Structure 1
Amino acid sequence: MRNVDFSPLYRSTVGFDRLFNLLDTVGQPEQAPTYPPYNIERTGENDYQITMAVAGFGENELSIEAHANVLTVRGEKAEEEADDGREYLYRGIAKRAFERRFQLADHMEVRGASLKNGILHVALLRNIPEAMKPRRIAIETRDGDQTRMIAADVGKNSEKTAA
């Protein structure tokens, strides 16, 4: 029996309403991208935040786009001039471009983004329209009506009227 790891689903969704729709689009967990690392946080009842570690990228090298319930964050490093007289003995700081996509739940809005000390924060808000929110319906009682009790017999249902 093979165990299936659903952790990529939980890591790349915000709002969690579209979980079953994502089952068709999930690849193998071993093939899930890991760069750049990120967190998804719930900061309030309807507030979420995606935090990404994008050290070395400036504001002009990052782009954020939201379209059709998909939030896309791209980073592309500008080419350095090779004529600066440096010779790298070891190069461990990645300068690779990346594209990270997040599946958003319905009615999620991007409120803004900020970059500070190599950490990108994307603020999200779940804004459900009033027409779609559940509403409480009051139950009226009328004094002149009789209350009916329904009792179940083994063979048949019978109605009794209570005064």
Structure 2
Amino acid sequence: MRTYDLSPLFRSTIGFDRLFDLAEIANRTGGDDNYPPYNIERLAEDRYQIALAVAGFSPDAISVTAEQNVLTIEGDKLEQAEREYLYQGISTRRFKRQFSLADYVQVKSAAFDNGLLKIELAREIPEAMKPRRIAINAMSTKSPRQLESAA
């Protein structure tokens, strides 16, 4: 796997810390672990859905946590009884999958549907951050002296 040294960029950029942290994490992990498989889907301009294939897990065995722009999904399935498998193709091992969320993206809901854990996300930009139209007031065409004498 090829690695990149991002340290020269740190010296000449300001305010991009989070972006470089994400690049460094992606570089370190390399994406080797692909369990459980998942899809990320855009439902609308500001709505998204993550679907994880979690066959064999119950809702009690999975935790979904959203905290400071990171969505963490963990699964821990304990076997109740010792079983003798002739073939075990359905993996039920522990997992921890993390997704970095952009600013103002919030988790709206999580639900099971046919072996998939579906997590709904929405970007909700606060009113103060949305562009707003500024009214332009017309200036009076009278001179300051004319305004004083009118008063």
Q: Give the TM-score category using the shorter length.
A: 0.7 to 0.9
Q: What 5-or-longer segments of structure 1 have no aligned partner?
A: 5-17, 146-163
* C-alpha distance in structure 1 between counterparts of 2:29 and 2:96, whole Å: 18
Distance 1:59 1:25 in 2: 29
How many equivalent pairs are there?
Answer: 128
SS in 2 for 1:23: helix
Normalised TM-score (structure 2):
0.72
- In structure 1, distance between residues paired with 2:100 and 2:32: 14
Q: Tell which deviates more after alignment, 130-139 or 47-56.
A: 130-139
Report the Cα offset of residue 90 of structure 1: 2.3
Q: Is the 8 A contact 2:55 2:90 kept in 1?
A: no
1:57-115 CA distances to partner (integer Å, 9 max, x unpaired)? 11111110111111100111122311xxx532222221201000011111111111110
Map 1:116-127 to 2 at 5 A: 116-127=113-124
Q: Percent identity?
A: 50
Measured against aligned partners, the alpha-carbon deviations of 1:112-151 in whole angstroms (never above 9, x if no partner) come to 1110111010011111110011123345565959xxxxxx
2:9 maps to which residue? Answer: none
1:129 corresponding residue in structure 2: 126
TM-score, scaled to structure 1:
0.67
2:73 and 2:54 mapped to 1: Cα distance? 11
Residue 90 of structure 2 aligns with which residue?
A: 93
Greater percentage in strand: 1
Q: Which residue of 1 aligns with 2:45?
A: 45
- Judging by fraction of residues, say which structure has more helix: 2
Q: 1:31 to 1:124 in 2, by over 3 A?
A: closer
Note the aligned Cα RMSD (angstroms). 2.5
